[in-house]
Amino acid sequence: MKFNLDLVKISSRVTPLLMYLEKKREDQKIARYVEIGSTFFLISFFILFAIKPTFLTISSLLGDIKSKEILTKQLKSKINDVIVAQDIFSQAQERYALVESSLPINPRFFQANSQIINVAAKNTIALAGADYSIKDSNYFSTSINTITSYQSAVGFISEILQNRRLIDLNGFSFSINEDIPNQININLPLKIYFWKDDAKK
Amino acid sequence: MLKNKLSRYFVLLGICTFLAIFFFVVQQSYNNLMKASNEAKNSPLIRSVSPNLNIEVLDEIEKRTETNL
């Protein structure tokens, strides 16, 4: 009986101690959690205010280096292309007069008119005159309406198409002249081209 | 018990914040890295120049007769 009483006494003394220890352990656990959480927050803070600017600067610099490498590579090939283009252009420039006679930088009505008159004269075609109309394009147009023989008309067209000055004949019409025998009415709409410098600079 | 729960949430929040900031920094760095090279690729400076010029057309023009004025 006495033994039982001692047990109850001991138990009543030990229980608060156990509870105290349990609470202590719980507090230690919470402290550990708070410590871990705080560590993560501190690392985040450190990343945001110390590592982030450094990383951004490093990545910008690396990007700049990479872009410069790309630019250098591309520009080297562009320089080579420009050198090749210069060589080819100098070849073309030597023959500039040829290009100019074919496609002049301004309409040069006089040259075109003289050439048409000369070709017509060669083929015994009498031209009364020609009207030129120029629009906002790279050519001006005229129309030749006259009476001539079939051979002369064919010869005229052939020479006009073989002329160095670029002249385009877009369709023509022949009709028999009922008043004069062996003569035909011809209608030739011509387009005479020139180089219109409207390229964007 | 409540304190214990709160401390667990605190850890979870810390981890989430850490991950969010980490990925934010990584993404910003990657953007910075790629931005410069993309700008370089689209730069008008590197627009290619074609050196091909049809020189043969000059021979063809030469073959045509020039009517004397």
Tens of pLDDT along B35-61? 988 888 888 888 888 888 888 888 888
Alpha-carbon distances, residue A72 vs A16, B29, B48 (angstroms): 80, 24, 13
A108 and A192, same domain (yes or no): yes
Interface mutation target, options A25, A72, A74, chain B, most CBs of B under 10 Å: A74
Q: Are residues A8 and A87 in the same domain?
A: yes
In a domain, A108, yes or no: yes
Residue A66 sits in the same domain as residue A5? yes
Residue A135 belongs to domain spanning? 104-200
Query: Which long-range CB contacts under 8 A does A179-183 form with residues at least 24 apart?
Result: A180/A147, A182/A149, A183/A147, A183/A148, A183/A149
**Is A99 among the domain residues?**
no
Bridge-based pairing of strands A167-169 and A184-193 is antiparallel
Q: Is the pLDDT of residue B68 over 80?
A: no
Residue pairs spanning A and B at CB distance below 8 A: 152
A169 shares its domain with A194: yes
Token digits for A121? 């004269």
Task: Indicate whether A109 and A72 sit together in one domain.
Answer: no
Same domain, A32 and A120: no
* pLDDT value for A5: 65
Asked if residue A89 and residue A6 are part of one domain, the reply reads yes
Say yes or no: A9 and A81 in one domain.
yes
**Pair (A80, A58) in one structural domain:** yes
pTM: 0.58
Residue A26 falls inside a structural domain:
yes
Whether A201 has a pLDDT exceeding 50, the answer reads: no
Domain end residue (candidates: A76, A94, A112): A94
In percent, the amount of chain A with pLDDT more than 70 equals 96
Q: What is the mean pLDDT of chain A?
A: 88
- pLDDT of A2 higher than 80: no
The domain total for chain A is 2
B32–chain A Cβ distance below 8 A for any pair: yes
Is the same domain home to A170 and A146? Answer: yes
- Considering only CB atoms, which chain A residues are within 8 Å of B65? 159, 162-164
Boundary-marking domain end, from A94, A120, A154 = A94
With contact defined as beta carbons under 8 Å apart, do A50 and B21 qualify? no
Domain-located, residue A5: yes
